[in-house]
């Protein structure tokens, strides 16, 4: 592939020029695009050699000052400002290469992909769109399967997998890879697909490794290096993604029980009534499985299928010991790492290998996990959870305001990233322990950013471009459905002004919600769950908190953002 030349002149911004050189180098590496770089001005390095200029595809001229253009008379030239490179070096490279004489075309590849995030909503589909758009631009054929709490959509067929040249997994939860045995596979996070789809595909084609067949080794097939960096967070989010349907179903059924049978619907004297039946299904069915599901699928993320049974049994012990979701998290990690260690350590003759997953691993891992929970972990964690629950239920005044400020701000600071998900997962798990106030701050704080942005596009249209004003309506719909990621495009375009405005509005919304005693019994749904009887405690307070946060976000955005060019 012919190299691209880039000459960067800093003028009065030498530090920016150095940063731009590194940004271009990394962006080119992600695209497998050879590049030769020259820095002009203070701190300049080696000049471009003559043979590099003769064999180049094009030259990118960045910045100001004397860039030595006379050397490049026969080459296609593209120009960019330092600010453009620092904002998005990949886009600058794509524009430069797009206008250059075409290099030898790469052979089109057939790609199958899976995207998944803990809730299976915004990041899942944003990653899918990023991969599809990048593959189309690069001339590759792609099919994407999306996975979330409701299962897989557009599932890949065996024929599509068999014909694929590459399997690409962009997921923040664990994805079963048994069906991809023998295929070249590359795994990363949804963020990589959203941020730079073209670079991701180029990296995947270069670095993908053959997926081992199930049972081909004593150690379950693990993610590629890029995925492995997520570590414990990814295991926890896998457990949360499987836990959420139990929390949602149980919370809504309990709310419906009260709506049908009144406040005493679950009292023993109401046995046989519809309200009592709904309460039994929600409280003693769905809610009883929340902690085992959380623990079981944390263990599954770590150790594959051998971790599920010991994880769920450890989670059930945690629930019975009163250790709740904190004990479930501990049980999941204990079971997962124990099962993974045993799987690697126990070696049997081939004719007995089939006993490992069905007898040896479940027995030994469950025994170790159970003993740890009963004799070591359960009692202190139960005491910790009891203290935490008592404090949260007794919150008043300043403590409630501070917790609301923190939770609301966490929802806005990275809009679906690790901080957002940590607040959300904690609040969702607390519902199982009967603590429903934090979820009110989390949901209202998470709805505020896109709703505030949508309002700002109407109140301050001059601060936004025409496409942004059009996107404001979509952001409003996403915000109403509690999809905080609807604000990401606006934050990405002007992070230093937009993100602080959103954090201010969400923090205030969370503080107002908890200060007014708002509680929320279901972990998702946004405005659409507010009309359900007894789903929200102090409904007027919830509406007021949301309105205050939305207005403050919109006004702060209008105050901080500059007029659109």
Q: Active-site residue numbers?
A: 117
d(CA 496, CA 500): 7
d(CA 268, CA 276): 8
d(CA 562, CA 565): 9
The sheet carrying 151-153 orders its strands as 151-153, 141-148, 110-116, 166-171, 184-188, 209-210
In the numeric block, which tokens belong to residue 507? 């923090």
Exposure string over 16-38, b if 16+ CB within 10 A, otherwise e = bbbbbbebbeebbebbebbbbbb
**Are the CB atoms for 301 and 174 separated by under 8 Å?**
yes
Exposure string over 192-215, b if 16+ CB within 10 A, otherwise e = bbbebbbbbbbbbbeebeebbebe
In the numeric block, which tokens belong to residue 60? 């990118």
Indicate the SS3 state at residue 66.
coil
d(CA 59, CA 39): 13
Q: Which residues pair with 186 in a beta bridge?
A: 168
Which parts of 373-486 fold into alpha helices (H)?
378-393, 397-413, 418-431, 437-459, 466-480
Residue 544 burial by Cβ neighbours in a 10 Å radius (0-12, 13-18, 19+):
middle
| Rounded to 5°, angle at Cα 361 from 360 and 362 | 95
**Are the CB atoms for 205 and 167 separated by under 8 Å?**
no
**Are the CB atoms for 444 and 546 separated by under 8 Å?**
yes
- Which whole-number Å values give the CA distances from 322 to 87, 243, 273, in the listed order? 50, 18, 29
In the numeric block, which tokens belong to residue 134? 């990048």
d(CA 332, CA 290): 13
Report long-range pairs for 63-72 (Cβ below 8 Å, ≥24 apart).
Answer: 63/8, 63/9, 63/10, 63/11, 63/13, 63/17, 63/20, 64/9, 64/11, 65/9, 65/10, 65/11, 65/40, 65/41, 66/9, 66/40, 67/7, 67/9, 67/40, 68/7, 68/38, 68/40, 72/5
Which residues lie below 8 Å from residue 272, measured CB to CB, with a gap of 6+?
none
In the numeric block, which tokens belong to residue 96? 């430069």
């Amino acid at each position: 592939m012919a190299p691209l030349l880039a000459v960067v002149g800093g003028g009065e911004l030498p530090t920016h020029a150095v940063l731009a050189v590194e940004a271009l180098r990394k962006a080119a590496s992600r695209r497998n695009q050879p590049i030769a770089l020259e820095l002009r001005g203070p701190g300049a390095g080696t000049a471009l050699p003559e043979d590099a200029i003769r064999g180049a595809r094009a030259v990118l001229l960045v910045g100001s000052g004397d860039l030595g253009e006379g050397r490049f008379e026969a080459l296609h030239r593209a120009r960019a400002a330092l600010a453009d490179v620092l904002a998005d070096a990949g886009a600058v490279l794509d524009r430069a290469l797009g206008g250059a004489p075409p290099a030898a075309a790469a052979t089109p590849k057939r790609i199958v992909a899976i995207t998944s995030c803990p809730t299976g909503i915004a990041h899942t589909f944003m990653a899918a769109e990023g991969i599809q758009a990048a593959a189309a631009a690069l001339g590759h054929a792609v099919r994407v399967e999306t996975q979330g709490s409701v299962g897989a959509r557009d599932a890949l067929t065996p024929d599509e997998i068999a014909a694929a040249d590459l399997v690409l997994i962009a997921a923040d939860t664990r994805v079963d890879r048994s069906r991809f045995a023998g295929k070249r596979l590359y795994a990363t996070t949804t963020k990589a697909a959203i941020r730079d789809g073209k670079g991701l595909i180029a990296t995947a084609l270069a670095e993908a490794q053959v997926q081992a067949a199930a049972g081909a080794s004593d150690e379950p097939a693990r993610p590629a290096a890029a995925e492995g960096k997520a570590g414990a967070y990814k295991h926890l989010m896998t457990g949360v993604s499987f836990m959420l349907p139990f929390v949602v179903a149980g919370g809504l059924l309990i709310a419906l029980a009260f709506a049908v049978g009144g406040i005493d619907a679950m009292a023993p004297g109401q046995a046989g009534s519809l309200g009592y039946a709904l309460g039994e299904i929600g409280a003693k069915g769905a809610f009883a499985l929340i902690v085992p599901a959380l623990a079981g699928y944390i263990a599954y993320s770590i150790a594959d299928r051998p971790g599920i049974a010991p994880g769920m049994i450890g989670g059930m012990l945690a629930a019975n010991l009163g250790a709740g979701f904190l004990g479930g998290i501990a049980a999941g990690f204990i079971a997962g790492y124990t099962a993974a260690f045993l799987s690697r350590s126990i070696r049997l003759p081939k004719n007995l290998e089939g006993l490992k997953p069905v007898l040896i691993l479940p027995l030994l891992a469950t025994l170790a996990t159970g003993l740890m929970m009963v004799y070591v972990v359960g009692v202190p964690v139960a005491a910790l959870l009891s203290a935490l629950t008592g404090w949260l239920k007794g919150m008043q005044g300043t403590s409630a305001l501070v917790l609301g400020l923190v939770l609301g701000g966490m929802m806005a600071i990275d809009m679906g990233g690790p901080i957002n998900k940590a607040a959300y997962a904690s609040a969702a798990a607390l519902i199982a322990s009967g603590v429903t106030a934090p979820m009110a701050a989390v949901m209202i704080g998470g709805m505020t950013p896109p709703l505030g942005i949508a309002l700002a596009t109407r109140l301050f249209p001059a601060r936004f471009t025409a496409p942004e004003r059009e996107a404001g309506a979509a952001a409003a719909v996403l915000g109403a459905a509690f999809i905080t990621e609807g604000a990401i495009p606006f934050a990405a375009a002007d992070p230093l002004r937009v993100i602080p405005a959103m954090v201010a509005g969400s923090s205030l919304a969370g503080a107002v919600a908890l200060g007014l005693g708002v509680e929320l019994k279901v972990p998702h749904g946004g405005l659409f769950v507010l009309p359900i009887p007894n789903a929200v405690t102090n409904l007027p307070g919830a509406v007021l908190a949301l309105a205050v946060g939305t207005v403050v976000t919109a006004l702060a955005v209008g105050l901080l953002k500059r007029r659109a060019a």
